[in-house]
Structure 1
Amino acid sequence: MEIFAKGSTFRLTDHGKVLLEASDEKPMIFAGHGTEQVEMYRGNFKIEDRVEERVALPILHSEEKDGALILDFGGQIEGRIEADNDCSVIRFRSRNPEINRFWIRLAAEPGEHVYGCGEQLSYFDLRGRHFPLWTGETGVGRDKTTYVTWRSDVENRAGGDYYNTSFPETTFVSSRKYYLHAETTAYADFDFRSPEYHELQIWEVPASIRIESADSFPELLKKETAFLGRQPELPEWTRHGLILGVQGGSERSFGIAEKVRSGGVGLAGVWCQDWCGKRVTTFGKRLQWDWHYHPQMYGDLPERIRELHREGIRFLGYVNPYLVKDGMLFREGMEKGYFARKSDGSFYLVDFGEFDCGVVDLTNPEAFDWFKGIIETYSIGIGIDGWMADFGEYLPTDDIVLASGKPAMIEHNRWPMLWAKCNYEAVKETGNLGKIVYFMRAGGTGSQKYNTLMWAGDQSVDFSRHDGLCTVIAAALSCGMTGMGLHHSDIGGYTSLFGNVRTKEVFFRWAEMAAFTPVMRTHEGNRPDDCYQFYDDEDGIRRMARLTGIFRMLSPYVTEAVRENHEKGLPVQRALFLHYEGDERCYTEQFEYLLGRDLLAAPVWKEGRKEWDVYLPDDEWIHLWTGREYGKGNNVVGAELGFPPVFYRKRSKYADLFEKIRGTYGA
């Protein structure tokens, strides 16, 4: 990268391509101040901003000093720029404490594509839209034209929109083969709508902006994840089969597990999220947020876990960083003073839907260690092999006082990283890294190296465009572009409201996709009695047995892809252009993906289809189920339930394995 600065003119170029530029006619930095209004209702945020001043900051002075270029932006902000081969870092220092709004523009090209910004569920290519970056509930329906979204908005302020995400990341990757990272945890809005520039808005002067480039996309992700951090490798046992989500106590949960095993379903684990007890609300069946096993529902759980282990099956539970006020652990935390408080000194309680909980103050090192000890004692200590690490996005922002002394508007997007770190340290300090898996929906900058597995959150139990099956494909691809290359979802979706119930078709379309992801895990959903459950259906058990068989046979291949994610930052589920960068069509595809290098999956995400349109990049492709060979282009292939369009590269070193799968499970 090269820097040019003269007078009020500045340019940063990469191999002759302009990335940043400033002049009197074309400002690069804007600054000002504004007043926001933030309302939270059960994790759903309504954020409005009134910008009171926005001023372009011309470059008044530039000078070389100690190997860096120092720029004076309007006497308000100092920028210190250092460039080293393929990486440039601009460190900012505000000279005006009144500045709480910051904008920076980057050069853009009309045909450019942009990816990342954490987990984006509606759109993989971000170009043409803007994306507010704030962790929260992702929303129900997420499409303002639908009945489900409208009803969710009216009743619970929970409808959501295309940009709502639990994992915002102030990092994006450009098709021009660079990534940009803004070092900040403040609210941000990355705007990619202009054909001439990208404009990043941040509600503080960021500590720095980092831009790094590479000659190829795999090399670029290697550099990006070396900076952001890489996920640990998944435990090998997660590839032994299905993680069965069941609840209702020992008799029901372990009875269903034995039933499906007897039907041939390969089980890696049994996941009982209600191991801690249950609550019933108008939303559906919820949990008792007091993180120790419930003796009435789960009897002698430690012994039952040991029995599962003897059969080669793991047990998983559930934890989140909040404690219900009628629980044992809440009383302990209150006595120790480990909850966040209001400005009047009282403990801050959050309404999680007909029950109130204390916010464990993870910015307090003593509270952090105490809660880590809860995980170590009550989960790991009784042999639990994994858990859903839920609700990292719920930190309120109104009238809450944290031990760090920082405003909640700054700590809010940092909260998921602290929660991930708490889980990571509990696992690592007990010697269980690589043995235990916890999965999170919330994330933020720094979460990558602490999160063993992402999960896509609470999709609707349907085929809807913005909240159904297809959204988890975009979610996996966008996560993979920002360092979270281990991703999975609730098979069949989770949210069933307003008459929207899960069908057998949507469940098995989801399951057949999940067989070609790093982890297969079911969820009964928020209203399990209303929705299809495969264990109640003999044909459903047979179908699941077949899919878990395929998943298990893929284990050697997926193991290599999981290792590449850890060592090189290459996600397990990959955008097509990562390996076919010369194919323009690959840059706009968000409903197909490569599983590792050699498998291409095109999940069926619409109802009632027996055939499916598939685009194949330039290679020699073999249809997994029939053995028929295909080349580059659009193809219509059969897609009966249970036979999703999947292809493998003819020259793959795993071709024998794929042929064996076809011989066992093919059409």
Structure 2
Amino acid sequence: MEKLGKRVSYQKAGQQVQIQFEKGTAFVNVLTDRIMNVFLPLETKDHRSKAIEGDKEVPTEFQVAEAEGALVISTSNVVVKVYDDFFVDFYDKNGKLLCADSRDGRVFQSQISERFIEFLKAEGHEVPDATDFDYPVQVIKKIQGDESFYGLGDKTGFLNKRHYEYENWNSDIPQAHTDSYKALYKSIPFLITLRNDCVYGLFFDNTYKSYVNLGKENEGYLYYGADAGNLDYYFIAGETMPEIVEGYTYLTGRTPLPQLWTLGYQQSRWGYECAGDIRDIAEHYRDLKIPCDTIHFDIDYMDGYRVFTWDDKAFGKPGAIIDEIGKQGFKVVTIIDPGVKLDPGYSKYDEGIENHYFATTPEGEVYVNAVWPGDAVYPDYGKPETRAWWADNQKFLLDLGVRGVWNDMNEPASFRGELPEDVVFTDEDRPINHAKMHNVYGHLMSKATYEGLKKYDGKRPFVITRACYAGTQKYSTVWTGDNQSLWSHLQMAVPQLCNLGLSGLAFAGTDVGGFGADCTPELLCRWVQVGCFSPLFRNHSSKGSTYQEPWRFDKQTIDINRKFVELRYRLLPYLYDLFRECEKTGLPIIRPLVLHYEKDEEVKNLNTEFLFGEHILVAPVLEQGATKKMVYLPEGTWYDFETGKEYAGGQYYLVDAPLDVCPMFVKAGSVIPTYDVVQYVGEKPYDTLKLLTYPGKGSYVHYQDNGEDFKYQDGEYALYEFHNENGVLTAAMSHAGYRPYKKITSTNVVTNETTEVVVAK
């Protein structure tokens, strides 16, 4: 990226500082006392962010002054120093350097001789070109030496991203994902940097293909580069990692409170090809008494894979099977892909052609590629009219009885090669190309889907998406895409879900059992023990692979799956409380231990455990054949979830973990709300709240509402405050906007004594 030369002058306008250089103008925008935006308009003069909606600027006092060759911009918490060539450094209020630009540029460190490089190229290997590797948009930040890096969404690899390199380019990859994969389905260019004495966040808001290298190229720096667009990034300051997550989700939005049933167990498969298959799944779950709320319909329910249609021959009268299993308590989620079949006479194609809703070639012809229906065209979701049309089409699904919509293939995927970068889309009111639209295509599809469901259903929309961008959490839950029935993919699920949560995407899950390849009974049993705590809890598999519903194996597999699905339903009120906290603070449901214990060196690279909220620590078995688990417990006192056995924190324990056990530990002083097990949400009213209390001192706030609509935003909810003094519980209702429980009990897990709780009004 070309340097700007010496600083010439500056102007302060509101909370924006405009800085003139010899070769251009740059900006530093003060959004809050902790969030600063660095902006260099290389392509457009405005941000036009897809991730950030609304005005995030908060009235903030700050000073601008010249000092020691720099322009110094200071709030009460952050000091920004801007130098010649638009080098930008960040300090805390006490003058400690947090984040600094490298002045030396990129230095390619290669141990490979020129002669050997030629051999590598001849064999088809990709070899970096050390002479020409700067990007048109680029920022290089110094690595001080002790950094750990977290975030970046659903990237492969381990929790700490130090020494990894990645690309942000939403990609449909059916092959088994390994650490070497630089891109998957989502582009979340948000990074949390943790050092021994500080922590901060960086969000690079650019939708073009971009690149992140975290000390792999050179130990002395990290870099972010993009193929085009503006240099547009946000520095987020805070004292702790939770404050960084809170700041980032303040910018890009937070996961809204979901309907309660969406937190139940869900069953799916690409391969339920008729109404009889669906009926069989429903009957098995009810006969075996394995709780289940949702059955997903994959692409076979459509007529020739035409979106917003129904296959009468295989699935019967439109909506009839949905109504039938609905009487058993099942809710239905249907898949929808963006590709619209090129089929004159098919209403959705004709409507799109007539109203210019589809992407075009540079010559103005409708662009055609191929997906499941064959020749297909692509809705231009960047056009408001197209989003409104897509939103209105959700009514077709709702009228069938559908309760949620699953957006797939929206990278966008295509069968005849990737869409060329010059395919023409729209950015609200102006044309743009596919190179800029690609990473936000799934985001905008999800936004349109969410708005349609909200408009025609009135309930909290349930949208699932495979591809997304930063900020999609406002509209959709996500899953990690086409994983495989491999132990390595189960192992990768933990850091993936943790980093998705840190990246704002709190409502996330993996395909339990694995989507591709063949699951084994042991793998399914261990995977359901991770899925039990995943916000999205869905068993999903691929046509052609082994069926992996629990009864496809043996009685032990059925019993273990039932045990952990029932545990999920017991913990629903705790999980729902976590979602309420997430809506308020942005903190995720599944959390790496480092989020709350960032000073503990043992947890910075801990990939095999996670926190379920702040109170429950889960240490699943992730290796084939293992019946014991090495567990690290951080500072404090912990208790076994089931037995109440006490453990001192700050050390490792080898615990027994036979196939039907997932080690779980609860923080001292915790109060864990539970419900009685039901076969589905809505089977019976939740009239009784059962609290599990653990020795120690602590407090807990429990939230309750109708679990369906938006009335809670008008005060129709209840808040209970519980205070635990070494197992003795006191309770009060701090907000009484919803019907109270008929009964609340408290069980001391150590003594196994149960008492009734009296709630003070």
Check whether TM > 0.5: yes
Change (3 A) 1:557 1:84: closer
- Out of 653, 657, 680, the position equivalent to 1:635 is 653
Name the counterpart of 1:10.
none
Q: Secondary structure of 1:267's match?
A: coil
Q: Give 1:438 deviation, angstroms.
A: 1.9
Q: Is the 8 A contact 2:302 2:308 kept in 1?
A: no
2 CA distance for matches of 1:61 and 1:198?
29
State the Cα deviation string for residues 178-204 of structure 1 (Å, max 9, x = none): 211222212211221144432211223
Q: Is the 8 A contact 2:391 2:450 kept in 1?
A: no
Q: Is the 8 A contact 2:279 2:325 kept in 1?
A: no
Name the counterpart of 1:226.
250
1 CA distance for matches of 2:354 and 2:41?
41
Name the counterpart of 1:606.
623
Q: Secondary structure of 1:430's match?
A: helix
State the Cα deviation string for residues 518-558 of structure 1 (Å, max 9, x = none): 23211132324x35442323513333222211110011111
Name the counterpart of 1:35.
none
* 2:141 is the alignment partner of 1:106: yes
Q: Secondary structure of 2:190's match?
A: strand
Q: Secondary structure of 2:424's match?
A: coil
Quick check: 268-277 or 632-641, which moved more? Answer: 268-277
Name the counterpart of 2:670.
652
2 CA distance for matches of 1:658 and 1:513?
24
* 2:198 is the alignment partner of 1:142: no
2 CA distance for matches of 1:293 and 1:209?
45
Q: Is the 8 A contact 2:359 2:378 kept in 1?
A: yes
Letter in 2 for 1:220: I
2 CA distance for matches of 1:238 and 1:437?
7
State the Cα deviation string for residues 393-422 of structure 1 (Å, max 9, x = none): 117234412244112111111212211111
Letter in 1 for 2:437: E
* 2:26 is the alignment partner of 1:78: yes
Q: Give 1:352 deviation, angstroms.
A: 2.9
Map 1:64-463 → 2, pairs under 5 A: 64-66=11-13, 68-73=16-21, 75-80=23-28, 82=30, 85-94=33-42, 101-143=136-178, 161-175=180-194, 176-193=198-215, 194-206=218-230, 208-243=232-267, 245=269, 247-274=272-299, 276-277=301-302, 288-326=305-343, 329-352=348-371, 355-377=374-396, 379-394=397-412, 396-404=419-427, 405-434=431-460, 436-451=461-476, 453-463=477-487
Q: Secondary structure of 1:231's match?
A: coil
Letter in 1 for 2:187: P
1 CA distance for matches of 2:578 and 2:323?
31
Q: Give 1:332 deviation, angstroms.
A: 4.2
Change (3 A) 1:614 1:301: farther
RMSD: 2.8
* 2:479 is the alignment partner of 1:470: no
Q: Is the 8 A contact 1:250 1:299 kept in 2?
A: yes
Q: Give 1:124 deviation, angstroms.
A: 2.3
Change (3 A) 1:591 1:324: farther
Change (3 A) 1:479 1:240: closer
Q: Give 1:227 deviation, angstroms.
A: 0.8
* 2:609 is the alignment partner of 1:596: no
Letter in 2 for 1:369: A
Letter in 1 for 2:152: C
Change (3 A) 1:646 1:62: farther
2 CA distance for matches of 1:569 and 1:91?
25
Q: Is the 8 A contact 1:269 1:313 kept in 2?
A: yes
1 CA distance for matches of 2:576 and 2:238?
26
1 CA distance for matches of 2:494 and 2:243?
23
Letter in 1 for 2:447: K
Quick check: 468-477 or 534-543, which moved more? Answer: 534-543
Q: Is the 8 A contact 1:77 1:94 kept in 2?
A: no
Name the counterpart of 1:510.
527
Q: Give 1:577 deviation, angstroms.
A: 1.6
Change (3 A) 1:401 1:385: same
Q: Percent identity?
A: 22
1 CA distance for matches of 2:458 and 2:314?
27
1 CA distance for matches of 2:425 and 2:266?
40
Q: Is the 8 A contact 1:260 1:541 kept in 2?
A: no
Letter in 2 for 1:270: I
Q: Is the 8 A contact 2:422 2:433 kept in 1?
A: no
2 CA distance for matches of 1:541 and 1:83?
53
Change (3 A) 1:100 1:200: closer
Q: Secondary structure of 2:321's match?
A: helix
State the Cα deviation string for residues 305-337 of structure 1 (Å, max 9, x = none): 334333332112111211233565334434544
Q: Give 1:244 deviation, angstroms.
A: 5.0
2 CA distance for matches of 1:427 and 1:336?
22
Q: Secondary structure of 2:41's match?
A: strand
Change (3 A) 1:605 1:355: farther
Q: Give 1:513 deviation, angstroms.
A: 1.1
State the Cα deviation string for residues 439-497 of structure 1 (Å, max 9, x = none): 1121103312121x111111011112xxx11222222111111211111121111122x
Q: Secondary structure of 2:445's match?
A: helix
1 CA distance for matches of 2:43 and 2:567?
60
Q: Give 1:82 deviation, angstroms.
A: 4.0
- Out of 519, 532, 537, the position equivalent to 2:536 is 519
Letter in 2 for 1:518: P
Q: Give 1:512 deviation, angstroms.
A: 1.5
- Structure showing greater radius of gyration is 2
Q: Give 1:95 deviation, angstroms.
A: 9.0
State the Cα deviation string for residues 541-598 of structure 1 (Å, max 9, x = none): 3332222111100111111111111111000001112211221222212332101111
Name the counterpart of 1:34.
none
2 CA distance for matches of 1:242 and 1:353?
24
2 CA distance for matches of 1:658 and 1:289?
53
Q: Is the 8 A contact 1:76 1:96 kept in 2?
A: no
Quick check: 360-369 or 74-83, which moved more? Answer: 74-83
2 CA distance for matches of 1:74 and 1:120?
39
Name the counterpart of 2:573.
556
Q: Give 1:169 deviation, angstroms.
A: 1.5
Q: Is the 8 A contact 1:624 1:658 kept in 2?
A: no
2 CA distance for matches of 1:366 and 1:412?
19
Letter in 2 for 1:402: F
Change (3 A) 1:239 1:87: closer
1 CA distance for matches of 2:317 and 2:357?
30
Change (3 A) 1:658 1:486: farther
Name the counterpart of 1:156.
none
State the Cα deviation string for residues 628-653 of structure 1 (Å, max 9, x = none): 32222222222222212222113211
Q: Is the 8 A contact 1:339 1:360 kept in 2?
A: yes
TM-score by length of 2: 0.71
Change (3 A) 1:211 1:635: same
Q: Secondary structure of 1:635's match?
A: strand
Aligned residues: 574
Q: Is the 8 A contact 2:152 2:191 kept in 1?
A: yes
Extract unaligned runs of 5+ from structure 1.
1-30, 32-54, 145-160, 280-287
Q: Is the 8 A contact 1:275 1:318 kept in 2?
A: no
2 CA distance for matches of 1:96 and 1:541?
57
Q: Secondary structure of 1:406's match?
A: strand
Name the counterpart of 1:492.
513
